[in-house]
Amino acid sequence: MTHPRKRHVRLVVSLTLAVLLASGLIYTSFASSDPALTPSQLLARGRDSGNVQLTGTVVARSIDSHANGVVDFRLADRTGDGVSVPVIYSGSVPSVGLASGRELIVTGRLHGGAFDAQPGSMITKCPSKYSAAPNGSA
């Protein structure tokens, strides 16, 4: 093969591999994710929800910490329509803490009327990232 032809073949092979690797990465990132549901959507699905991400707001005065590291609390829809789900969680709590009104995401499944969260699956949403900028500036 001539020198320019070798470069062309290498370029085509390299680009083909890059496209295949990118496609595989995109597929695995979307295929392995659990659906994200609000408490009302979770309850509408029924008793066997499978593995899901539950997203909502911690209900006031619902947090109960136990000596064995288990924390019970209720998550409600962000709309505040009164629908909430009891959550049983064990594992580390993010540094910003678990507080009433805090928006959370936990991964697990509905089991016996309560959401059994996987240990270490709690993610909190930082309220400062979602508040309005001072003086209306961006």
Q: Where are the domains of the chain?
A: 1-33, 36-127
- Those residues with Cβ within 8 angstroms of residue 114's Cβ, 6 or more apart along the chain or in another chain: 85, 86, 87, 88
Question: Which tens digit of pLDDT belongs to each residue from 104-130?
Answer: 999 999 888 899 999 988 888 765 555
Q: Is the pTM of this model over 0.85?
A: no
- For residues 138 and 124, give the distance between their C-alpha atoms in angstroms, rounded to a whole number: 24
Residues of the chain with pLDDT below 70 are 1-2, 30-33, 47-49, 95-96, 126-138
First-to-last C-alpha distance (Å) of the chain: 58
pLDDT of residue 136: 53
- Ordered DSSP codes for 33-76: PPPEE-HHHHHHH-S---SEEEEEEEPTT--EE-TTSEEEEEEE
pLDDT of residue 50: 78
Q: Identify which of 98, 101, 97, 108 has the alpha carbon closest to the alpha carbon of residue 84.
A: 101
Domain 36-127, CATH class in plain words: mainly beta
**CB distance 115 to 109 below 8 Å:** yes
